Chain A
Amino acid sequence: MNTVKENKKTTFQELLMPELGALFRTALRMTRKREDAEDLVQETIVKSFAAFERFERGTNFRAWIFKILTNTFINNYYRVRERDKLPSLDEMEDENAFQPVFEGITPEEALLNTLTREDITQAIEALPLEFRAVVILTLVEGFAYKETSEILDIPIGTVMSRLHRGRKLLQKMLCEYSSNKKTAAREIHEECPARKS
């Protein structure tokens, strides 16, 4: 038995396993297909194990492996045709883009009560990739802006602007889901805090 290799495998496994759930969640939101997500996670594990000698012990393993996951996704899974399936950003950012309004608390509570986990997933998956990646890494997985900029290899200012626009798009979509689901709650749509009054 090769002890050096076994030690490497054990150390790698110990670092990887606590992140597996987060890697799968992210892969699923990126690929939108369970089978592709499992392939992506598997490929990420193989690639990151092969590159594990280059990982500096004591640094941020989580950010390191997420960078491998997102790069693998962009290089191998993200096709130009995916863009064709999505509405353009101009279409998504219409005159109803989020503007703060200061209505009573009731419509806000109603909005949150109406939404489900499936609505959230659907809204994330409907975002264009550049917004989706930033939203997942910062708002779901809790990476700092700087870590997200390093994972995606984009300037921190770009992270901030994409995150801001991504949030507004999500709120707009979720308000629409909420109002579509409950015709009886018409006032929620009209007073939705994430729509311009």
Chain B
Amino acid sequence: MSCQEVINKLYFYLDGEVLTPQERREIEEHLDQCLKCNKYYQFEEKFWSFFRTSSLDFPLPESLMNRVETVFTNL
């Protein structure tokens, strides 16, 4: 698999989507051998992991909990 093909499919690889097991293996083999693609992969992996972690860190407001309680009382 060429560098461009790996770059084109990298998001599918990161998301665990679309690709066949064979394509995933080919990407992994390429990443093992290509320093440039490996660096790019590591950046993307860290970036989206940071993105998700930061987005999930979100406390529920008490006002919403009070509303939910009221809704359930009235259902």
A142 to B7, CA, bound (A): 22
* Partner of A38 from B17, B54, B67 at Cβ < 8 Å: B67
> Within the complex, what minimum Cβ distance (angstroms) separates B28 from chain A?
18
> Within the complex, what minimum Cβ distance (angstroms) separates A117 from chain B?
4
Residues of chain A contacted by B75 (CB below 8 angstroms): 9, 46, 49
How many residue pairs bridge A and B at CB < 8 Å?
84
A54 to B72, CA, bound (A): 19
> Within the complex, what minimum Cβ distance (angstroms) separates A43 from chain B?
10
Q: Decide if B17 touches A21 in the complex (CB within 8 Å).
A: no
Residues of chain B contacted by A139 (CB below 8 angstroms): 48, 51-52, 55
A116 to B48, CA, bound (A): 13
A120 to B43, CA, bound (A): 17
* Partner of A9 from B18, B46, B72 at Cβ < 8 Å: B72
> Within the complex, what minimum Cβ distance (angstroms) separates B34 from chain A?
10
Q: Decide if A13 touches B54 in the complex (CB within 8 Å).
A: no
A58-66, A71-79, A89-97, A163-171 - interface stretch? A163-171
A80-88, A100-108, A181-189 - interface stretch? A100-108
Residues of chain B contacted by A34 (CB below 8 angstroms): 61
Residues of chain A contacted by B25 (CB below 8 angstroms): none
> Within the complex, what minimum Cβ distance (angstroms) separates B37 from chain A?
8
Look across to chain A and name the residue whose beta carbon is closest to the beta carbon of B58. A25
Q: Decide if B47 touches A171 in the complex (CB within 8 Å).
A: yes
Given contacts A25-B55, A117-B57, A138-B15, contact A108 B68 (CB under 8 A): no
Given contacts A41-B64, A112-B47, A145-B17, contact A120 B54 (CB under 8 A): yes
Task: Give a binary string over B26-53; 1 marks a CB under 8 Å from any A CB, 0 the rest.
Answer: 0000000000100110110011101110
11 A-B pairs in the complex with CB atoms less than 8 angstroms apart? A20-B68, A42-B71, A49-B75, A112-B46, A112-B50, A115-B50, A117-B57, A124-B55, A139-B48, A140-B52, A145-B15
Show the binding face of B for A, using Cβ within 8 Å: 7, 11, 15, 17-18, 36, 39-40, 42-43, 46-48, 50-52, 54-58, 60-61, 63-64, 67-68, 71-72, 75
